[in-house]
């Protein structure tokens, strides 16, 4: 993998950031977030997900959401603190980063995503609003799964 992004694209026309505290250890949240084959079991917006290798830089995984097939490449991994992935899909170049910050028996989960490409440039407000709602749902589903898991 040549020159993976070192961050989300801060110059992209669509940038979304969300965060949510989760009452679970960072390791438990990390396990849910990085075990791609289980995503459909706790994230109902994802109908399929598969990764043939562990999520290390350069690893590729495939998933389906909202009727779209997406192939993502892992750019950075720092367990259990940070994972960044992305790639082109349906005219959009996306970079998605998750950061986990432990805090007094809980974990602050921050998710940030940048989108560039024609759909994002043509209507950044509408596309940004849709992405914002998508990230909020990811966080809420992750929170629900992590907080109901055995501790």
Out of 3.30.530.20, 3.40.50.11540, 3.20.20.10, 3.30.420.40, select the CATH number for domain 14-148. Answer: 3.30.530.20
Neighbouring CB atoms inside 10 A of 68's CB total: 10
Cis peptide before 89 (omega within 30 of 0): no
Q: Is the pLDDT of residue 150 over 90?
A: no
Which whole number is the average pLDDT over 28-55?
97
For residues 128 and 13, give the distance between their C-alpha atoms in angstroms, rounded to a whole number.
9
Report the C-alpha gap between 125 and 131 in whole angstroms. Answer: 10
CA angle 99, 100, 102 (to 5 degrees): 150
Residues with Cβ within 8 Å of residue 108, at least 6 apart in sequence: 19, 20, 21, 22, 100, 101
Mean pLDDT of 25-47: 97
What is the predicted pLDDT for the residue at 105? 85
Q: Where are the domains of the chain?
A: 14-148
Q: What is the pLDDT of residues 125-145, one digit of tens each?
A: 999 999 999 999 999 999 999
pTM score, two decimals? 0.95
What is the reported pLDDT for 1? Answer: 65
More confident residue, 44 or 67: 44
* Terminal Cα-to-Cα distance of the chain (whole angstroms): 37
**pLDDT (tens digit per residue) in 2-21:** 788 899 999 999 999 999 99
């Amino acid at each position: 993998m040549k020159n993976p992004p070192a961050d989300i694209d801060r110059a992209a026309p669509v940038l979304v950031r969300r965060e949510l505290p989760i009452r679970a250890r960072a390791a438990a949240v990390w396990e849910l977030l990085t075990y791609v084959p289980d995503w459909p079991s706790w994230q109902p917006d994802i109908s399929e997900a598969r990764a043939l290798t562990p999520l290390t830089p350069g690893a590729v995984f495939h998933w389906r959401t909202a009727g779209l097939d997406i192939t993502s490449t892992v750019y950075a991994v720092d367990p259990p603190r940070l994972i960044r992935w992305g790639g082109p899909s349906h005219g959009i170049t996306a970079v998605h980063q998750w950061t986990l910050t432990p805090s007094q028996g809980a974990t602050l989960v921050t998710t940030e995503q940048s989108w560039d490409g024609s759909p994002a440039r043509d209507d950044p407000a509408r596309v940004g609003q849709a992405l914002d709602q998508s990230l909020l749902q990811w966080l809420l589903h992750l929170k629900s799964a992590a907080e109901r898991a055995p501790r």
